[in-house]
Amino acid sequence: MSKKVEVHIETSGAYELTGFWDWVCLSPKKTVPPHAGIHERANELKIIIHNQDDFDWAEEHAIKVGKECKLYLQPEWSVANEMIPKIVEFIKAQQQWTISLQSHKYLGIP
Report pLDDT for 76: 96
- The answer to whether residue 83 sits within a structural domain is yes
- The answer to whether residue 84 sits within a structural domain is yes
- The answer to whether residue 87 sits within a structural domain is yes
Per the structure, the complete domain to which residue 86 belongs is given by 22-29+39-106
Name the domain count of the chain.
1
Q: What is the mean pLDDT of the chain?
A: 95
- The answer to whether residue 5 sits within a structural domain is no
Give bridge partners of residue 99 from the DSSP assignment: 73
- The answer to whether residue 92 sits within a structural domain is yes
List all residues 6 or more positions away from 84 whose beta carbon is below 8 Å from its beta carbon.
75, 99
- The answer to whether residue 8 sits within a structural domain is no
- The answer to whether residue 3 sits within a structural domain is no
**pTM for this model (two decimals):** 0.91
Average pLDDT over every residue of 8-31: 95
Kindly report the number of other CB atoms within 10 A of residue 48's CB atom: 20
Phi, psi for residue 109 in degrees, rounded to 5: -100, 125
Q: In whole angstroms, give the CA distance from residue 38 to residue 16.
A: 7
> What is the per-residue pLDDT across 66-99, written as a single tens digit (0 to 9) for each?
999 999 999 999 999 999 999 999 999 999 999 9
Average pLDDT over every residue of 12-36: 95
- Position 110 confidence tier, pLDDT thresholds 50, 70, 90: confident
- The answer to whether residue 89 sits within a structural domain is yes
Q: Which of 98, 82, 102 is nearest to 90 (CA)?
A: 98
